[in-house]
Amino acid sequence: RDLRQLQEWGIVLRDPSIGLIDFFHQREGETVFLCWQLGEASVEWWHPVQGGIAGRKHL
């Protein structure tokens, strides 16, 4: 049930063991993912939809 609620909010759970999530965002006219991981104070990273966390960039 909780996972379905996250999906309804547009949140993609990438790795529950480390609390890694992505969510869609418009950045300079392009759809990208903002990403956040448990322990980070705020959302400070993004990456292309076709890329993964390894290619994330600071906002």
Q: How far is it, in rounded angstroms, from Cα 9 to Cα 53?
A: 20
Helix (H) or strand (E) holding 5: helix 2-8
Residue 6 is classified by DSSP as: H
What pTM, to 2 d.p., does this model score? Answer: 0.81
pLDDT in tens, the chain (59 residues): 788 988 899 899 999 999 999 999 999 999 999 999 999 999 999 999 988 888 899 99
Domain segments of the chain as ranges: 2-58
